[in-house]
């Protein structure tokens, strides 16, 4: 059975969510330009230690909501809070992994990971020691001296993951992080992400176009409608057991049942986004 969650106010004394978007809307334009409301007032909460994936058609505002949670975008209305505190400016408790590589081409893998600590004032020797440990955790101990152009797409993504996680953020914001990779490498990276996440279970908000990826990774899958005025139209609990192997969990009959149920809601929105009539 697929569970459609109803968003409720927190009970008295309950822990505040790691991320709370309360009635957040996103609009562009104004003044001499017409206003385009990309996202209608939307409420979304991610609990501490919870892995939430957002799926929806292209251009529906998934990344826009993620940017609001990161403090990169100011909502037109509503409020964003992080662990119960209003977000003012950049979200300093979050690590952000983008779709495109954010590695410096003139630095080695080791240097790219170490700089994440060095900019925060950590001594270079200590930063390099921790960077070496993190490269080992992502399976790249033997590639510390390679430059980004000497690494495969999957290896560069591992360096980027180490670069984010070395700072020990309490929240991970991930925007199609494995999008550019081939299907096999995406599955490998997904399993690696789950292994690293299981160590301390950070709150994760993960944007993807791939419904199978969302189900394989997440505790909840949130569906957004097509835009303009995109909104959340579904919120499904993923009751597959953990730990999970991303390639093997797709063989589970429960996985197929979840996929069928969620796709039945998502399909019409995808069709609308491409200018067709709902099936």
User: What is the DSSP track for 44-97?
Assistant: EEE-TT-EEEEE-STTSSHHHHHHHHHTSS--SEEEEEETTEE--SS-TTEEEE
Whether 247 and 120 map to the same domain: the answer is no
Split at pLDDT 50, 70, 90, the class of 31 is low
Q: For position 252, what pLDDT does the model report?
A: 96
- Of 109, 144, 168, the last residue of a domain is 168
Q: Collapse the DSSP code of 140 into the 3-class scheme (helix H, G, I; strand E, B; otherwise coil) and give the result.
A: coil
Range with the poorest average pLDDT among 54-68, 100-114, 193-207? 54-68
Query: Which of 54-58, 149-153, 156-160 shows the lowest per-residue confidence on average (mean pLDDT)?
Result: 54-58
Q: Taking residues 65-77, what's their average pLDDT? A: 93
Residue 217: what are its φ and ψ, rounded to 5°?
A: -95, -40
**Domain presence at residue 241:** yes
Domain count, the chain: 2
Give the tens place of pLDDT for each residue, 84-120.
999 989 999 999 998 888 899 999 999 999 999 999 9
Collapsed DSSP state (helix, strand, coil) of residue 29? strand
Binned at pLDDT 50, 70 and 90, residue 148 comes out as very high
- Work out the average pLDDT over 171-176: 96
Tell me the two tokens of residue 250: 């797709």
Confidence of residue 11 (pLDDT cuts 50, 70, 90): low
Report the pLDDT averaged over residues 52-74: 91
Mean pLDDT of the chain: 90
Kindly state whether residues 147 and 134 are assigned to the same domain. Answer: yes
Asked if pLDDT for residue 48 goes beyond 70, the answer is: yes
Last residue of a domain, one of 119, 150, 168: 168
Asked, for residue 108, whether it belongs to a domain, the answer is yes
Q: Write out the residue range of the structural domain in which residue 126 sits.
A: 94-168
Pairing of strands 85-86, 171-175: unpaired
- CATH number for the domain harbouring residue 50: 3.40.50.300
The stretch 156-171 carries a mean pLDDT of 96
For residue 5, being part of any structural domain is answered with: no
User: Higher model confidence: residue 99 or residue 219?
Assistant: 219
Lowest mean pLDDT among 4-18, 109-123, 203-217: 4-18
pLDDT of residue 64: 92
Q: Same domain for 25 and 148?
A: no
pLDDT at 279 over 80: no
| Whether pLDDT at 4 is above 70 | no
Least confident of 21-25, 101-105, 216-220: 101-105
More confident residue, 36 or 70: 70
Residue 243 has pLDDT above 90, yes or no: yes
Q: CA of 63: how far to CAs of 5, 53, 158, 207, in Å?
A: 22, 11, 21, 7
CA 153 to chain centre: 19
Same domain, 120 and 245: no
Q: Which residues contact 118 (CB under 8 A, 6 or more apart)?
A: 124, 127
Q: Structure tokens of 180?
A: 């550019």
| pLDDT band at residue 12 under the 50/70/90 scheme | low
Closest CA to 100 of 35, 179, 204, 155: 179
Write down the pLDDT at residue 163: 96
pTM of the predicted protein model? 0.91
Grade residue 13 by pLDDT with cuts at 50, 70 and 90. Answer: low
Looking at the structure, do residues 20 and 63 belong to the same domain, yes or no?
A: yes
């Amino acid at each position: 059975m697929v569970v459609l969650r109803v968003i409720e106010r927190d009970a008295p004394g309950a822990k505040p969510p790691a991320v709370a978007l309360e009635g957040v809307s996103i609009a562009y334009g104004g003044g001499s330009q017409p206003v385009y409301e990309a996202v209608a007032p939307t409420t979304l909460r991610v609990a501490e230690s919870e892995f939430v994936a957002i799926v929806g058609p292209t251009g529906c505002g998934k990344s826009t909501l993620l940017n609001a949670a990161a403090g990169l975008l100011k909502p037109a209305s509503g409020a964003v809070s992080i662990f119960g505190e209003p977000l003012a400016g950049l979200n300093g408790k979050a690590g952000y992994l983008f779709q495109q590589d954010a590695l410096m081409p003139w630095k080695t893998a080791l240097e790219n990971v170490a700089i994440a600590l060095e900019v925060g004032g950590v001594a270079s020797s200590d930063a390099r020691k921790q960077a070496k440990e993190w490269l080992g955790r992502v399976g790249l101990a033997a590639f510390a001296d390679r430059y980004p152009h000497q690494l495969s797409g999957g290896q560069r993504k591992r360096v980027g993951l180490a670069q984010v996680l070395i700072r020990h953020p309490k929240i991970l914001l991930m925007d199609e992080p494995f999008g550019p990779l081939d299907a096999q490498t995406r599955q490998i990276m997904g399993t690696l992400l789950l292994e690293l996440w299981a160590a301390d279970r950070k709150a994760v908000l993960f944007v993807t176009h791939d419904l199978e990826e969302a189900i394989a990774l997440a505790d909840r899958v949130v569906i957004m409608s097509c835009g303009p005025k995109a909104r959340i139209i579904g919120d499904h609990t993923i009751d597959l057991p953990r730990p999970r192997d991303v390639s093997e969990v797709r063989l589970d009959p429960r996985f197929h049942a979840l996929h069928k149920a969620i796709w039945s809601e998502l399909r019409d929105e995808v069709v609308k986004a491409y200018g067709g009539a709902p099936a």
